[in-house]
Amino acid sequence: MRTAPAHRIGIASVTLLASFVGCSDPTSTPVTPADSGVDVTPTTDTPKVDAPATDTTPTADTTPATDTPVTPADVPPVGECGGIGPEVAAHVTAMSTMGWAALNRSRSMMMHGCAGASRPQDCLAMVPEVGAADIGANRSAITGAHLRLLYTGATRSGFWTRSSADGRFVGRGIHLYDLARSAGVTMTGAMYDPAFFPDNSGYTYQPGGRLCPMSTLTTGEPTAVQLMGAGSPCAGSSLGLYQHLGTSLDGADYWATSAGNAAWDDGGHSATLTETRRNEAWGATAQTSLTLMANSGSGFTAVGSRSVRTPFQGDAVISPSSRMLITRFVDAAGAYQGYILNRLDASHTGPAIMASATEIARYCVQGAKPGFSYDERYITYHHYAGGGPDADADARELGFTGEDDPAFAEYTRRGVSNVYILDLLTGAVRRVTNMGPGQYALYPHYRSDGWIYFIVRTLGTGREQVIASDAGFMMR
């Protein structure tokens, strides 16, 4: 189980960077690497089940996407379930032409697998679709959408998967893979939490909040990157665990969120039937800490910090533009309720930081680990099913008659996780995958052009598949 440093317990943090290299090198309590074979998933009391997954899945969802905006009379007020304020539409409209998706297009960012493609959805056409030999041939929940097998990792990973803005590099726990060269790159000293800046300028790993320029991966044909020690091209920083990255649209400031009050999500190594436990309560006094850092020319120094109240919220994720913050929230009893979209405002005069997080929408859907699209209209997330208070609703959503349906029994024993897309503008939700019992589609995230990457863990195997989905284009 991952342990956050004591000074970060109870505090979710957001760090504003003036560039993408850091200064200090704080240490974090190490965890047992996932590849050791030790079960590092403290997510359920259900014993680990090592039987191979089966293909007893319900019929794929063919329901059309419901993207038509609702009328104002249909929208509850902000602060209630389904409340979506007018700022969301204004932000989505602005980001459609000035967000990082548009900026990267204007800069002719070369997206992986797009040579000869006339549209983003035509990319990766030469990548084979998933089949029975890997995760099964019936795993797409959307008619017409494709699930393409990017590669199969021969080792288990720990915690989440993230990829570079251009989709070329995939950080699967401590394992980094270059899809263009079909080659792994050893991240020496890494333990977890890969993340990439939306302008493709660099990436981070933990522990020590290591900040690395993208040139460490694109210059020559590297087989390893030394994250720590003398001569490392990567600098340390004060970034805490569970960091996520954003960049201001003028490219001047680099941000990172790090969630001290989080739910360490490393499910799928054993049967995981519900969203993972929090490392501590998210109460009325929960805060998000904002820290400003300055570039001294040879590194970064801390300038100042400020805490922002985010009551009953945790697992903060910053948007690519750094203008939004999405969190998960709980009720007074501590039960997960869904997501809150906050407008994030931060400015500073010298070391004095003025900051606030203001709720502008609330989405009462169960899920974890959200990732923003680069146009900031959508998030993608995974959701565990098979047990807990939502088991009956989950069974029905998957096409069964309820949690007592005999065909759902394997899910209640072995669990499952599927990938979903949420339209922040309308609140519409679509399920992307149709995984079988004991199969876990996890850590979905967007690359700049709209493709979604995620991994699949299957009980009883040491392999993990990295999958690309074009389902996001079906919601546009």
Closest CA to 367 of 432, 425, 318, 426: 432
pLDDT band at 343 (very low <50, low <70, confident <90, very high): very high
DSSP structure string for 377-396: SEEEEEEEESSSTTHHHHHH
DSSP structure string for 14-29: EEEESSS---------
Residue 166: the pLDDT is: 98
Percent of the chain past pLDDT 70, that is, above it, reads 81
In one letter, which amino acid is 296? Answer: S
Residue 290: the pLDDT is: 65
DSSP structure string for 189-239: T--EEEEE-TTSSEEEEETTTEEEETHHHHSS--SEEE-SSTT-SSBP---
> What is the C-alpha separation between 269 and 203, in angstroms, rounded?
26
Cβ contact 318:246 at 8 Å: yes
Q: Which residues contact 63 (CB under 8 A, 6 or more apart)?
A: 430
Mean pLDDT within 25-46: 34
Question: What φ, ψ does residue 305 adopt, rounded to 5°?
Answer: -150, 160
Q: For the segment 132-175, what is each residue's pLDDT rounded down to a tens digit?
A: 999 999 999 999 999 999 999 999 999 999 999 999 999 999 99
Give me the chain's average pLDDT, please.
Answer: 83
Q: For the segment 201-222, what is each residue's pLDDT rounded down to a tens digit?
A: 989 899 988 888 899 999 999 9
Q: Which pair of tokens denotes residue 353?
A: 């930081």
Cβ contact 287:12 at 8 Å: yes
SS3 state of residue 278: coil
- pTM for this prediction: 0.85
